[in-house]
Amino acid sequence: MERLTATYHLRSRPEDVEARAAALATEQSLELPPSAVRDPWIVRELLGRVEHVEPVGADLFRVRLTLALETTGLEAGQLLNMLFGNCALQEDVELHDVEFPPALLAAFAGPAFGVAGLRERVGAWGRPLTCTALKPQGLSPQQLAELAHNLALAGLDFVKDDHGLANQRFAPFAERVRAVSKAVDKANRITGGRTCYVPNLQGSPEKVLEQACIAREEGVGAVMLEPMIVGLPFFHELTREVGMPVLAHPAFAGQRIRPALLFGKLFRLFGADAVIYPNYGGRFSYSRPTCLELAANARRPWGHLRPALPVPAGGMGLERVPEMKAAYGPDTLLLIGGALLSAGDGLLERAREFVERVAKG
């Protein structure tokens, strides 16, 4: 029976680690002491197996388990349950990495558009793509539309809703999407460009599907969701059915799952065409190696899965552009939000400068 490999980081005293690792293997599979299981094939095949334990720091160990593929039901929710169900409640455990055998990979669609699909949408090749966010909360649909119009005039590839724009009274989803979409279209007719507006979908599946319909009716080119809020199984279902590229936003992703795995592998597996994450040197504390590994995971050849576009973000400014281009290369979506918006009357000019700096060889 085929198995998948999950690697955990486990805090433990060295003298306890073997027993702790065995307990983890039981917790993440049978949840019953093997001695209490009557069917020998269940213990032989379905019990998690500790394959390797090695120290990686003081009282910190890397533990490789294998789990029987069949226990995942080849489905997103139960896969998460097997990888990090009960042990998510144990603070000494971090999910570090997962190796997906071909039979598991085959069960997931991955990005429906991927890097190439996103490039086609905006007609841009051979350079990083550009993106900014409409904010703050509180602006009316008309104010957001004006903002978007200027940003599209500047030639940005993507203008997305901030993740804080949901369906609030000051800018209800339908009105906002209609107004912004029109404003971006108008700017595109002026420039001959193809700026793509990306509304944020939020709420229960019923509401999100309604919002996706509205977005489609308005001719919007892509959408954004927060997979950890709406739920990864729903996210995966939606990416297969929505018919346009999906940007994944990291909000609520406070699990003890290594970012390079969660954003680089799992979000991609479940269909994210682009993966937004907090870049090093911004308002968040991810390290440079973490971010580069995340980006590498998002783009590397991986079975039938299209590559996803990494979107380093979170407090980036224009001065970071050359360094980010050098670090990430062309298949990257550079997202600068606040640093553009804080230009006030100089918004159009600063947005143009962003576009030019990215285009510059």
Residue showing tokens 């998690």: 48
Cis bond upstream, residue 40 (ω within 30): no
63 lies in the binding site for its own copies (CB under 8 A): no
Task: Give CA–CA dist 324/360, Å, rounded.
Answer: 13
Q: By CB under 8 A, name the one of 5, 11, 88, 146 that touches its own copies.
A: 88
Contact between 36 and its own copies (CB under 8 A)?
Answer: yes
Residue 361 contacts its own copies per CB under 8 A = no
Task: Map residues 325-344 to x or -, x wherever contact with its own copies holds by CB under 8 A.
Answer: ------------xx--xx-x
In the complex with its own copies, the residue whose CB is nearer, 101 or 231, is: 231
Longest distance between any two alpha carbons in the chain, whole Å: 73
Question: Least Å distance between CB 189 and its own copies?
Answer: 27
DSSP code, position 152: H
Show the binding pattern over residues 270-289: x = contacts its own copies (CB under 8 A), - = does not: --------x----xxx----
End-to-end CA distance of the chain: 51
- The two three-digit tokens of residue 108, written as one number: 């997931």
Q: Are strands 158-161 and 129-134 parallel, antiparallel or unpaired?
A: parallel
| Dihedral sign computed on CA atoms, order 127, 200, 262, 98 | negative
Residue 126 interacts with its own copies (CB under 8 A): yes or no = no
Name which position in 49, 51, 78, 185 contacts its own copies (CB under 8 A): 78
Q: Of the ranges 50-58, 74-82, 175-183, 288-296, which one interacts with its own copies (CB under 8 A)?
A: 74-82
Beta partners for residue 158, in sequence order = 131, 196
In angstroms, how far is CA 157 from the centroid of its own chain?
19
16, 56, 204, 287: which one binds its own copies (CB under 8 A):
204
How many residues touch its own copies under the rule CB under 8 A: the total is: 82
- 213 lies in the site for its own copies, by CB under 8 A: no
* The only residue of 14, 55, 73, 123 in contact with its own copies, by rule CB under 8 A: 73
Q: Under the criterion CB under 8 A, does residue 317 sit at the interface with its own copies?
A: no
210: alpha, beta or left, given left = phi > 0 and alpha = psi -120 to 50?
alpha
Pairing of strands 49-57, 158-161: unpaired
DSSP state of 242: S
Q: Which is nearer to its own copies, 137 or 191 (CB)?
A: 137
Part of the chain binding its own copies (CB under 8 A), chosen from 2-10, 252-260, 293-301, 317-325: 252-260
